[in-house]
Structure 1
């Protein structure tokens, strides 16, 4: 597939002024940061670890290039790439921050006032099942309340819990004690999106052990009442918890297929889900990016098929992988759904790359680069709220190096920046 230049011409770089951020692993750019950037009330917020492993918050007026910066009082263990920072702004303008979590007691604080970068004291949420927290993710609902998803327990033996934050009362409430149950034998690694109608969509792979190669299958569920009840794409109500035996499967993929975990998804205006991930198909040697989506009564698979390099995911910890996990965004154009897949690939020089199609169901992806230089082990995260509001893509970008397992590189702190991209006409 040829490399084209139309996307690169549409990209704009907005630096975040700092002495440099921690770059000895990928903790600032892992894909499960929800979010690294968030827009609310006319401002965009960012978060990252500096080279001393302190949580740093930044803020700019939407569309401006000048940032306010605050190095908070909180420090995280940035040497573990799982312990990323996630942020969200509630309907009243308070910034919520979690950090430093990989089977640890919850680290959570919120701003002292709406719009502030100054955090208050550490807080609990519900106070229950908050001692072994991993993969914390915030999502904002249309009424300004928040959802908080996280794993309780260890890899291969963990359950998915869901809390909700009520903006009016400023209190957290447990919605689901055990939404997806690994039954002591496996755990779910998920991706989530909230569509324009407020439906929560979740898809996941099962992992049988800490070995990444034990990932298998892609399952699906959704909630149309803010996370209280869950159903299959057919409308059949789940009897919770969801387990390996009662889950709906969007795609059956065996273990040892280089199937990656924790990628991304979106749902169109009709509530149809699209899941972006990668795996190696049976009989093939090269893992390819795929889009799994539901139309009518059938799940379909779109193989993008432009990759050339083979690799293996065998082993535990945070892997050093020649490609990133993908992010996917989409927008309607003339009755079709155009889409962009954002990723990094060593075959393309480890740059910020984007594959664009005018019709996600037909394929014909055009691949181009948004940066000229390598971004090392970067994975894409973006401002989901800004995209929903204006269809402007803002990516958090920092070059870093991930050593296989939980190894630590030895490179100087690296600059952080926002890359802005807007969809243009696709020929």
Structure 2
């Protein structure tokens, strides 16, 4: 090998070496810590399901959290960043914690008011707002718009750069539900309905989505279709985006959608057949150029693998992470007990390399909080490390997206929970609710 070729090869590998060193440091115990908040309900996974937006969120220098305690009461907490001491408030509101769909989601608007929604599975809207900015005490239960609020499932809040807040939810039942979007204006302090039916299942199917808002304010939504109540009928990965706060929508090519979006009109980022072990409601994020990255899992080459579907130079691409060694059968209804969690995804740019990271839990790794990362280039493999020492049971990841987007700090909601397949209830005592903090997971300049 000539000296010139050797130097070129080393130059190609230097960014990868830096990335490996960067992430390897986080595996050292001194760089990972946790803060204790309180005791939470753990007889199913209602506190630790993937579709919470959000379990944990930061506004300014104040971090907020929400969870159900051992008696099913909604608990809110807050702390100053870098403090280990949490202030908690047990509200007067309860949820049906025996149904793991009935999760808590929260957000803070641009004026500092906390918005909370909880306890939904084809039931009436439950929503309240804090009495004071940065406060934990909620006012009375409120309606939003009074439209399509009788059969609500999967409430999710999303913050816009202008301080306004979006509220996504499914109206209707599994297999024949529609995506509704409401918008909260911080100036008027009122909700309006932007979309009564953004994605139409045409009364024969449902869209199970994930969404994010990038630094430019573009809303990205991806989803899988489900033909019936049975999760094995999930298929395909679709995509839409909005550049005007959710009023109008387009494809990744900039072609305007005629709303509502249907099976026939949707843009397909990746075609995936039914009975592929395709999971629903996972996560989506974005890179510095506002390209969307979707994390999910389905079967490939006989194994259930985490997959990344992403947009690059106007074209959809797919990467099989390939680090798992087993498969299982994904089927049936209700909240499933599964050997792996849905993944969560976040993106960073290190030395001009787009580094994709996913948080997950896997029986193969002892059900710990785990992290996998890759720069997605031709010489890079996926590198996997564990962030927790002990098992977190049937936990699914939920991290502080606002904190990551603003400060590139990774804080993860963590609780050991046990899920019995199909909405069963485990005979298990309450467990500790914590925030896992990874100190050195930040951008390298």
**Conserved? CA contact 2:79–2:87, under 8 Å:** yes
2:163 match: 144
- SS of equivalent to 2:181: strand
- SS of equivalent to 1:302: strand
- SS of equivalent to 1:115: coil
- SS of equivalent to 1:109: strand
**Conserved? CA contact 2:408–2:442, under 8 Å:** no
Residue of structure 1 aligned with 2:262, choices 243, 246, 251: 243
2:226 match: 207
Residue of structure 2 aligned with 1:12, choices 32, 46, 67: 32
Residue of structure 2 aligned with 1:316, choices 333, 336, 339: 333
1:126 aligns with 2:152: no
Between the aligned partners of 2:74 and 2:111, the Cα distance in structure 1 is: 23
Between the aligned partners of 1:103 and 1:377, the Cα distance in structure 2 is: 24
**Conserved? CA contact 1:302–1:363, under 8 Å:** no
Q: Would you tell me which structure has more helix in proportion to its own residues?
A: 2
Residue of structure 2 aligned with 1:255, choices 256, 268, 274: 274
Between the aligned partners of 1:39 and 1:221, the Cα distance in structure 2 is: 27
After superposition, the Cα gap between the structure-2 partners of 1:420 and 1:185, relative to the gap in structure 1 and judged at 3 Å, is: same
**Conserved? CA contact 2:418–2:426, under 8 Å:** yes
Q: Per-residue deviation at 1:359? A: 4.0
- SS of equivalent to 1:38: strand
Long gaps (5+) in structure 1: none
**Conserved? CA contact 1:339–1:360, under 8 Å:** no
Q: Per-residue deviation at 1:362? A: 6.1
Residue of structure 2 aligned with 1:266, choices 278, 285, 293: 285
1:295 aligns with 2:312: yes
1:154 aligns with 2:173: yes
1:423 aligns with 2:441: yes
Between the aligned partners of 1:163 and 1:228, the Cα distance in structure 2 is: 10
- Trace 1:82-231 onto structure 2 (pairs within 5 A): 82-231=101-250
1:285 aligns with 2:326: no
Bigger radius of gyration, 1 or 2?
2
Between the aligned partners of 2:169 and 2:394, the Cα distance in structure 1 is: 24
Q: Per-residue deviation at 1:363? A: 4.4
Question: For residues 192-223 of structure 1, what are the alpha-carbon distances to aligned partners after superposition, in whole Å with 9 as ceiling and x for unaligned?
Answer: 01111110000000001111100000000000
Between the aligned partners of 1:240 and 1:255, the Cα distance in structure 2 is: 25
Q: Per-residue deviation at 1:225? A: 0.5
Question: For residues 218-263 of structure 1, what are the alpha-carbon distances to aligned partners after superposition, in whole Å with 9 as ceiling and x for unaligned?
Answer: 0000000000000000000000000000000000000000000000
Q: Per-residue deviation at 1:12? A: 2.7
After superposition, the Cα gap between the structure-2 partners of 1:233 and 1:260, relative to the gap in structure 1 and judged at 3 Å, is: same
**Conserved? CA contact 1:6–1:368, under 8 Å:** no
Q: Per-residue deviation at 1:269? A: 2.0
Between the aligned partners of 1:239 and 1:8, the Cα distance in structure 2 is: 48
**Conserved? CA contact 2:149–2:171, under 8 Å:** yes
Q: Per-residue deviation at 1:360? A: 6.3
**Conserved? CA contact 2:408–2:443, under 8 Å:** no
TM-score after normalising by structure 2: 0.92
How much is the aligned-residue C-alpha RMSD, in angstroms? Answer: 1.5
**Conserved? CA contact 2:344–2:360, under 8 Å:** yes
Q: How many residues align?
A: 421
